Amino acid sequence: MKKTNRWFYAAVGVAVLLCAGMVYAWSVLSGPIAQEFPQWTAAQLSLTFTLVMILFCVGCMAGGFLSARVSAKVYLWVSAGLFLAGFALASRIQTLAGLYLSFGGLCGFGSGLAYSAVMGTVGKWFPDKQGLISGVLLMGFGISSFLIGKVYQACTPETVGAWRHSFLVLGIVTAAVLALCGFFMEKPGAGFVPPATAGKKKSYVNHVAMETPTSLMVRRPAFWLYYLWAVLLSAAGLALVSQASGIAREVGREVSPGVIATVVGLISVFNGIGRVIMGGLFDKVGRSATMQIVNGLFILTGAVLTAALKTGSFAVLVAGFVLGGLAYGGVTPTNSAFVSSYYGMQNYPQNFSIVNTNLIVASFGSTIAGALYDASKSYMMIYLMICALAVGGIAASAAITRCDKRMLAKKEG
């Protein structure tokens, strides 16, 4: 087997997640829909994305717990069918219920299946680089909303109803890419040894690594402490993302809407970059240091955005968005790397799907951020919320370190 072969599977995985991640472009995709149906409130349209998040997690869990009986190829082919059906039905909707079922339900579930298939399969090719490969794969998922959103805006005329044709084309293209990638998605053989580690002793930066079934994982304090960290930091990221446009408009009162949209998009771009950087750091410096770096970046984000609001400097705001994107980008690859390094690859699909459910709880971060702004009429409360969540993350990460020390002491004893 050639040394570069496994990177082919990584490239296929990135292509899949670029397509599957388009559900996160809802804020852009929904604009023309709101224009055609002005009687639908912002809250009603936002519920579509909430349903996407829920069904995404359900799809991940279904993919994880059935992974032993259903191949990744089949998951991608089913996902292709769900995206095609979801976008085709959405392109013809006349009711909110139809939108919830088509985009929220079918596309959300299809995205979760594809995500589970890629993360559970491609990761097995990189047992020596769990953090890095998680970051590379999730970079595709992270920048998908930015890239797809830009293409959608460029190709969709401003006339009422033009979005319907764009939705149909998106469904066809996405289905074709997922179906094609399904033919190339496969796990390594039982005797596979990473080229970089052939003949070397297996080692971990995180010393508690072991093969652990889901039933045992969920009984360990370290898991729930990590789960709490993921909820807190994901909520901080979603709070920023959900209010980014409003923050940019308030600071950049003289800035054009086009520049505002581009600057807000920087969060997605640096989210993708942050996933690769933080994933690589996980391999190099370990779980604890990586988590604390993410915590620190979120606190720094809150501080820089506060300075931008106080000074009215748009340049400082841009720096805050870049930091926020990097910080938020550090959460998802850490999720994947934590599960694989702490609990092994044998039960990774099931264990990872459980960790992913943190998104359901964290999704309320955007709701809370909106409520804080409505109550105070100031974005300062949102910055304080981000900092407070990061401080909670510092405490959770430190508690996991104490659990590690106790576990190592038991092993040595």
Same domain, 365 and 220: yes
Same domain, 78 and 207: no
> How far apart are alpha carbons 323 and 244 in whole angstroms?
13
Report whether 20 contacts 171 (CB < 8 A): no
Tell me the per-residue pLDDT of 290-313, one tens digit each, with 9 for 90 and over. Answer: 999 999 999 999 999 999 999 999
290 and 364 in a single domain? The answer is yes
Tokens of 298: 């979120």
Contact 243, 373 (CB under 8 A): yes
Q: Select the more confidently predicted residue: 127 or 248.
A: 248
Distances (CA, A) of 73 to 79, 117, 197, 333: 10, 8, 28, 23
Percent over 90 (pLDDT), the chain: 40
The per-residue pLDDT for 293 is 95
Give me the pLDDT at residue 200, please.
52
Report the C-alpha gap between 220 and 412 in whole angstroms.
Answer: 19
Mean pLDDT of all residues in 379-405: 90
With beta carbons less than 8 A apart as the criterion, state whether 233 and 385 touch.
no
> Same domain for 181 and 209?
no
Whether residues 278 and 388 fall in one domain = yes
Per-chain mean pLDDT for the chain: 86
> End of a domain among 162, 188, 214?
188
Tell whether 125 and 208 lie within a shared domain.
no
Domain co-membership, 157 together with 182: yes
pLDDT interval class at 253 (50, 70, 90) = confident
Residue 247's pLDDT is 87
3-state helix, strand, coil in the chain (%, to 5): 80, 0, 20
- pLDDT (0 to 100) of residue 411: 57
Any domain includes 89? yes
Question: Is 326's pLDDT higher than 90?
Answer: yes
Determine the average pLDDT of the residues in 310-331. Answer: 94
The domain boundary residue, chosen from 188, 223, 252: 188
Asked if the structure places residue 219 within a domain, the reply is yes
Confidence label for 353 from pLDDT (cuts 50, 70 and 90): confident
Per-residue pLDDT tens over the stretch 104-142? 999 999 999 999 899 888 888 888 887 888 888 888 887
Q: Domain range for residue 119? A: 1-188
Structure tokens at 398: 């430190």
Most confidently predicted of 61-65, 88-92, 183-187, 285-289: 88-92
More confidently predicted of 70 and 231: 231
What pLDDT is stored for residue 345 in this prediction? 79
252-260: average pLDDT: 83
CB-side exposure of 77: number of CA atoms within 13 Å?
Answer: 9
The answer to whether position 355 is within a domain reads yes
Residue carrying structure tokens 């993410």: 294
Band of the pLDDT at 98, cuts 50, 70, 90? Answer: very high
Q: Is the pLDDT of residue 2 over 50?
A: no
CA separation for the pair 368, 371 (Å, rounded): 5
pLDDT above 70: residue 199: no
* 8 A C-beta contact, residue 114 and residue 175: no
174 domain residue, yes or no: yes
Residues 305 and 387 in one domain: yes
In a domain, 277, yes or no: yes
Residues 184, 208: one domain?
A: no
Q: What is the dihedral sign for C-alpha 185, 173, 97, 24? A: positive
DSSP assignment, residue 189?
P
Give the range with max mean pLDDT: 210-224, 252-266, 305-319, 393-407. Answer: 305-319
Taking the C-alpha atoms of residue 11 and residue 223, their distance in angstroms, rounded to an integer, is 30
pLDDT, mean of residues 146-156: 83
Q: Does the residue 194 lie in any domain?
A: no
Nearest alpha carbon to residue 344 among 179, 201, 209: 209
The CATH number of the domain holding residue 279 is 1.20.1250.20
- Quote the Cα angle for 239-240-244, to 5°: 125
Please check whether residues 243 and 103 belong to one and the same domain. Answer: no
* Residue 43 pLDDT greater than 80, yes or no: no
Rg of the chain over Cα atoms, rounded to whole angstroms, equals 21
* pLDDT of 91 strictly over 80: yes
Q: How many domains does the chain have?
A: 2
DSSP codes of every residue in 13-45: HHHHHHHHGGGGGHHHHHHHHHHH-TTS-HHHH
Please report whether residue 330 resides in a domain: yes
Least confident of 83-97, 162-176, 365-379: 365-379
Q: What is the pLDDT of residue 283?
A: 83
pLDDT of residue 412 exceeding 60: no
- How far lies 237's CA from each of 13, 63, 404, in Å? 24, 26, 27
246 vs 390 pLDDT, higher one = 390
Task: Provide the pLDDT for residue 207.
Answer: 55
- pLDDT for 191 equals 72
Confidence of residue 204 (pLDDT cuts 50, 70, 90): very low
Q: Assess whether 172 and 212 both reside in one domain.
A: no
Has residue 193 been placed in a domain? no
Alpha helices in 72-162 (DSSP H): 72-90, 96-99, 108-122, 130-155
Indicate whether 270 pLDDT > 70: yes
Residues 326 and 365 in one domain: yes
Contact 192, 126 (CB under 8 A): no
Of 154, 188, 222, at which residue does a domain stop?
188
